[in-house]
């Protein structure tokens, strides 16, 4: 009996889609923080795009997990989607994917909790996106069945280059705080916009 490859194809496509959307969300967040869009768009709209990219990456990630469980090429139990190390297939590398996914959910949930947890905690939590991106990259390269293909290597190289380049730009453009200066952090969506 021949097995249906639908879930296997969906798992591969949704995994790569989730990675590309995660990359876009991280890159957009770095560009937002570096104020690259300040002259072109309203700050609230730029933040909304960032949140939308993060949300759609979570949707693609959920589809990736569900289709991996529904496919029977490798038997992956449902609990392996939330318990690192529970998947029999390349446990270390799939664990990195699980941890990255769980942290993605936490960071996305923090958008709505920013006022409750405070700007400092929110900002600290957002620093974990560098780890999420690194873990997702390692997961894709080591556990992805397409990772040796030239097109996949190109995606990983472009994603890593984009995030590293924007992170470098971000750190180079940080204005040092003057002695005794205090800065009020106003969420970009709360700034007045000239009409």
- The domain defined by 6-175 folds into 1.20.120
CA–CA gap between residue 186 and residue 100 (Å, rounded): 28
- Find the helix or strand (DSSP H, E) in which 46 lies: helix 43-70
By the 8 A CB rule, do 81 and 65 touch?
yes
**From the first residue on, what is the mean pLDDT of each consecutive set of 10 residues in the chain (195 residues)?**
81 96 94 73 80 96 96 90 93 96 94 89 91 97 94 98 92 70 50 40
Q: Please tell me the predicted confidence (pLDDT) of residue 45.
A: 80
CA–CA gap between residue 94 and residue 100 (Å, rounded): 10
Give the list of residues 6+ apart from residue 191 with CB closer than 8 angstroms, or none: 43, 44
SS3 114: helix
- Find the helix or strand (DSSP H, E) in which 58 lies: helix 43-70
Q: Please tell me the predicted confidence (pLDDT) of residue 176.
A: 66
Write out the two tokens for 98. 């699980």
CA–CA gap between residue 10 and residue 65 (Å, rounded): 10
Of 172, 156, 173, whose CA–CA distance to 22 is shortest? 156
Of 168, 171, 167, 138, whose CA–CA distance to 27 is shortest? 167
CA diameter of the chain: 74
Give the list of residues 6+ apart from residue 73 with CB closer than 8 angstroms, or none: 3, 8
Of 89, 85, 109, whose CA–CA distance to 98 is shortest? 85
Q: Specify the DSSP class assigned to residue 78.
A: G
Ordered by start, the domain boundaries in the chain are 6-175
């Amino acid at each position: 009996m021949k097995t249906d490859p639908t879930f296997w194809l969906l798992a591969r496509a949704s995994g790569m889609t989730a990675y590309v959307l995660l990359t876009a969300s991280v890159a957009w967040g770095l560009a937002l923080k570096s104020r690259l869009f300040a002259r072109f768009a309203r700050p609230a709209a730029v933040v909304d795009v960032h949140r939308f990219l993060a949300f759609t990456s979570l949707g693609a990630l959920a589809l990736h997990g569900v289709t991996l469980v529904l496919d029977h090429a490798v038997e992956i139990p449902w609990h392996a989607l939330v318990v690192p190390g529970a998947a029999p297939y390349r446990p270390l590398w799939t664990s990195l994917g699980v941890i990255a996914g769980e942290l993605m959910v936490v960071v996305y949930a923090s958008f709505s909790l920013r006022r409750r947890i405070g700007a400092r905690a929110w900002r600290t939590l957002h620093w974990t996106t560098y780890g999420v991106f690194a873990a997702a990259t390692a997961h894709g390269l080591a556990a992805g069945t397409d990772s040796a293909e030239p097109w996949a290597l190109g995606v990983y190289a472009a994603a890593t280059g984009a995030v590293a380049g924007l992170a470098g730009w971000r750190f180079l453009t940080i204005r040092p705080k003057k002695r005794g200066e205090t800065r009020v952090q106003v969420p970009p969506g709360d700034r007045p916009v000239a009409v």
